[in-house]
Structure 1
Amino acid sequence: MNYDLIKAQIIATASEYGGKILLAILVLIIGRIVIGKITSMVSTLMDKRHVDRDVQPFLNSLISVMLNVMLLLSIAGILGIQTTSFVAVLGAASLAVGFALQGSLANFAGGVLILIFKPYRVGDLINAQGFTGVVEAIQIFNTILVTVDNKTIILPNGALSTAPITNISGKGRIRVDMVFAAGSQNGVDAIRSSIRKVTNSCPTALKDVEHDILVTKLTENAIFFDVRVWTLSENYWDTYYYVNEGISKQYSVDNIGAPKPAELSVALKQ
């Protein structure tokens, strides 16, 4: 065995690649330190911007993975490894996966946007995609609504992030709008007084605001009132049903007569 030849090959290899290996190790160490600093800064920035804590770990992990992939590609380039083919194959694979999962990716992106910008929160009453309900959970791919009749509705976040949403609970207070009718023979003041008794006695109606009881339509047989009662968002349905039932009972107590069904049908068409 020619030890001199082997020694010469080792020296030649070390001379050719030794500097590259040392540089690659140095870049790896410095790169890891820089990545740690960047992820720490991003985490601090998200805390200051009050980004949801449920999404912060995911975003940190995503940023860290992306930066580490870039670091590894840089190190491979320093060592002389051809990364062009590798990047091309990775890009093609990513494109194929992206097409296969484009619906899920859209929902995922929508979930991240919802968690960051918070158009609604857990516990809010919202109307979206034709459904009205209380937000039970905001997941990465879906938002879970519970309707008034206790049905669970699962809505994809991709659609929610790009379509109009009515956040009924957004301001904390909400106005419950209702329409009631009574026979015109009763008189406006008598009907309004009867309705006022119900709105004043409603336990979920706010006491520091005036509730509107407005004549909205007069016909030969009926008087129509817009009744607008202010309440807290979470008490919307309790207020709605209380006032509806209460007015029916109060009409009976106050002898407020309703239009005959046939007459009311004609009045509504006018």
Structure 2
Amino acid sequence: MTDQLTDAEPPAEEKLVGADRVIAVLTELAEHPLGVTLDELAGTLRSSKPTVHRALATLRRAGLADMTGRGVYVLGDEFLRLAFRNLDGRPETARLQPLLEELATTFGETAHYAVLSGRDIVYRAKMDPPQGAVRLTSVVGGRNPAYRTAVGKMLLSSRLGTLEEVGEWVGSFPLEQKTEHTRTTPQALLAELQTTRRRGYAIDDQENEVGINCVAVPVFLDGSATPTGAVSVSAVSFRTPLERLEAAVPQITDAISRHLGPRALG
């Protein structure tokens, strides 16, 4: 005998819509660490307040959202516990953290490990320097456009070799000029990727953020011919000029080899 749909059990299509709404609310909550109101969520998501309230109720029952008082919602402690437990349990995190600690201590700047995700890079691990008045705002799980970051250009250089490939990757996505140094045409991006591929490392010369420069090298963690990610050292330009970062590339690759093994360099 087949199951009959009832009012208590909506069709699969409606369930999917409901799940999508819950995920949208959860994602938007992550953008507001200080909290956000129901009215603000409904406005941002262009959804009715009852719909958003039902999604929030679902998240609160699971511990994935909390209400801090007077209608202000934040991510729940259970969400953070799950996220950090997953991150700490990833093999790459355990392997990379000692390397990033050494790089941050050696150079007095921030070290990252990031992977390519579509048109963005995602930071999988980060280590700030033990001392320093100015620190970067990047966070683990945070994203930046690949075309204007050193780690992104490093990873794109092994995937995009022709103007046609770069054009297909860019598509209708605007190459926003974040700073005066940002490359905003497929031709300029291709030239930079070719230079990156030739010298074996990538640079960000204040292309993503004024006053911040970066150097990145590829890392091969699974034995494939394509890098799984890239390790970078990002620096405040007045403290560590780009020229000094470029001169330090051999030190960075040496540290990668010692911590991850020679095969991690490809």
The question of a shared fold, defined as TM-score above 0.5 by the shorter chain, is answered with no
- Decide which structure has the larger Cα Rg and report it: 1
Give the alignment's TM-score, normalised by structure 2: 0.23
Give the alignment's TM-score, normalised by structure 1: 0.23
